[in-house]
Chain A
Amino acid sequence: MPDALPPDSVGLVTPLSMTFREPLALESGASLPEYTLAYETYGELNAERSNAILICHALSSNHHAAGYHSMDERKPGWWDSCVGPGKPIDTRRFFVVCSNNLGGCHGSTGPASINPASGKPYGKGFPDIVVKDWVRSQARLADALGIRRWAAVVGGSLGGMQALQWSIDYPERLAHSVVIAAAPRLSAQNIAFNEVARTAIKSDPDFHDGNFYEYKAIPERGLRLARMLGHITYLSDDLMHARFGRELQAGSPTTGYEMEFQVESYLRYQGSKFAREFDANTYLLMTKTLDHFDPARDYDNDLTRAMKRARAAFLVISFTSDWRFSPARSREIMRSLLDNNLDVVYATIEADEGHDAFLMPIPQYLEVFSAYMQRVAQQVCTS
């Protein structure tokens, strides 16, 4: 963190949390007797309560979307490039809410939380969660905050899937759905990568079948491996080449199997950092949630029929070098919206950053996103 806060930052923010005592019925048939959601808000809710934006986060992020928790924090929230005064999600016009998904490990109830029934962490006993469950839990948060209708529900990757699910489950409760770098469901290849990551975690002796809390252990090796694999799929070949090339750590080749190339150092650093901060059971849960996301499943695999209930206007964005959720996957979403004669804007952004591009301040991306959000603001923020 620099000495002074940047002028286009939302500044210092304090995480909030809300506990819901009413049981939450889950799609699996199970229910959570009570749960807590950690969340942050930026900007001011207007008198009509019409300027609220819900940001949904992706696999491994959390409610800290923008700003800084303290002057010592090294990096701002994960979507600081797009959230703040003068940024696409302009906090001078919008009231922004971002919550940590249920099952998360940054303050919302998840596998590491204490199960009130047993007095011990849920561990692998935490119920299965699907995207619909997240949406339902977020709708309750909206109720509690007095937000009847979101001006927009916005998200990238797994967050984009939530924005899509919102438009199906609560068609009257959002005016716009912004679906970035997402897919209508995972491909077999996507699921395969997730399964390798899960296997890495589960085969770590420190995992203890999900009950590592009791052993005061952390399956760090498994998590690190899972994250290293994930990171490869988030970046593009071109970006890796540009950023690391074949640069050697020591300047000249070494013998044996020691770390040699800079890309290895990068992956190890990212992996280790993640392993210290993230809960292994949450990673399993989130990847499973991703795997199961498939709104068309209940409609004979016909996404057009699945989207029939939607009433929102949509912005769909993809990135050319994203091979995890390629532009073709976003076009599947777009096509289902066109078939339903819904309002749609679709843009493909030329970018080398791969899947992670949705987090980056790429000029054309910011232009498109800003122009669209200005349209949203003009429609919903009358005062």
Chain B
Amino acid sequence: MSLRPDLVLIGEWIRPGSRVLDLGCGDGALLKHLQDTRNVTGYGLEIDDANVTRCISSDVNVIQTDLDAGLQDFSGKSFDYVIMTQTLQAVHFPDRLLEEMLRLGDEGIVTFPNFAHWQNRVQLALGGRMPMSRTLPNPWYSTPNIHLCSVTDFEKLCAERGIHILQRVMVDHAHHRTPGATLLPNLLGKNALYRFQRRG
């Protein structure tokens, strides 16, 4: 099984031997990859039963929990990185979770679909419909993505909350870097990857 390209990109950001917390870790693919290639230790948080079992089978330390119920089980600054891939837009309080990420970790890493991608803009502006795409496959009434945002929205929130962005990578729907997305991220970037920390 080959790893999603955005997870490979995240892997390149992680210092070997780090302690990592992965929020919404799915089947544990990222943590497994980081354990195998970067010698990291840590935990994955996941709510789905089938994914929990897959994590256990992949030798990933998984904690079954609901991110919306908070992260009180974890003490402050116990991780080098707190990661959340393609989950920010699906939680009840994304802003609080960002703060929590930086309470628990030195650095945070998030990825999310950029809602301001030009195809979404076209669907809404000309079609008058809520956008759907490979990245956002569900209709409005059944989507788990209740807090979609754009690259500009996210960066504005970070600025307001004293969060310093260390790195940003924009990728297309297949999670590959493209020159266009780098040049005009909020218009041409389908998915955003950020690494950030508390402003020192």
Contacts and interface: CB of A to CB of B under 8 A. Distances in A.
A59 interface: no
Interface in B22-75: 41, 43, 49, 52-53, 55-57, 59, 61-65, 73-75
Contacts of B43: 338, 344
Contacts of A346: 62-65
A170 B19 CA distance: 27
4 nearest CB pairs, A to B: A371-B56, A346-B63, A347-B64, A367-B53
A374 interface: yes
A372 interface: yes
Most buried by A among B52, B56, B62, B75: B56
B59 A344 contact: no
Given A345-B63, A346-B63, A339 B56 contact: no
A348 interface: yes
19 contacts: A334-B63, A338-B43, A338-B75, A341-B19, A341-B41, A343-B61, A345-B55, A346-B62, A346-B64, A346-B65, A347-B62, A348-B64, A348-B65, A364-B53, A367-B53, A368-B56, A372-B56, A375-B57, A375-B59
Contacts of A198: none
A344 B63 CA distance: 8
Secondary structure dominating the interface of B = mixed
B197 interface: no
B78 interface: yes
What interface size band does chain A fall in?
Answer: 20 to 34
A309 interface: no
Contacts, number: 49
B73 A338 contact: yes
Interface of A: 331, 334-335, 338-339, 341, 343-348, 350, 364, 367-368, 371-372, 374-375
Interface of B: 19, 41, 43, 49, 52-53, 55-57, 59, 61-65, 73-75, 78
Nearest to B74: A338
Contacts of A345: 55-56, 61-63
A368 B19 contact: no
A63 B184 CA distance: 69
Given A334-B73, A341-B78, A344-B43, A371 B19 contact: no
Contacts of A339: 75, 78
Contacts of B61: 343-345
A245 B165 CA distance: 58
A374 to B, nearest CB: 7
Given A339-B75, A341-B41, A371 B64 contact: no
